[in-house]
Structure 1
């Protein structure tokens, strides 16, 4: 039976409002969890794989080592890509900035000649050489993603 009692009607309205508020809260929590999952990666999150760094080491030896040296320490004409010298130049900037510099200016005798993936592989090798952790997936060459990853020492 359907009741027309004002008290029962108020309870029904109250119940509906509670259900709407509950639904909104669930949606809000879900949205927060989704945005957290999509948040900026950290350079320390294992954003490249061992295999990618190995490919990058090979490409580095043929395309970069003649200027930056085999040990990545650079020389009087090319900056070091290792340790404090590297971090002094790049800390606070994004991986996107480093990737862009590499892909538009390197190698100096033929800038931009390598594939996007090869530049990403070399970047992975540089990160591994600076003791950043590896992960399960390859580093992307998508500049919009790389722009969101800051280079930090901590």
Structure 2
């Protein structure tokens, strides 16, 4: 019985060692804060440039296949194709887009960021300026690229009168 226990313990240890080696391979490579900030800034700048150029497909490529986008009015778009449809409609009525990053945080392959945006949109009485906030959660991919998993735009609400 003791021999059987030792043999089983040996197999268990080998199995754990193999799992530990696989887990190490799946972990994110070490990235400096400067690298992550530069990658995130490049994504933000490219997103803005493509949006200004009305390239909805180019912007949509920055989203993961199963990404979720919530627009400034609370409408939710699930998946890259739905996000592309939203972007095609919104880019045609907006211009003068300016996106600024306030801050980012990262852990492993995940990067969260938030900031502000300003753009001109066509309204029923002419062009108007829309100013809001955004937040994203993005993930580094195996090829080193960054894909957006979650994107939310928000318009600040007026505080209630007291």
TM surpasses 0.5 = no
* Higher helix content, 1 or 2: 1
Shorter chain as denominator, the TM-score bin is 0.3 to 0.5
Question: Which of structures 1 and 2 has the larger relative contact order (alpha carbons within 8 angstroms, sep 6+)?
Answer: 1
Larger-gyration structure (1/2): 1
Task: Give the TM-score normalised by the residue count of structure 1.
Answer: 0.35
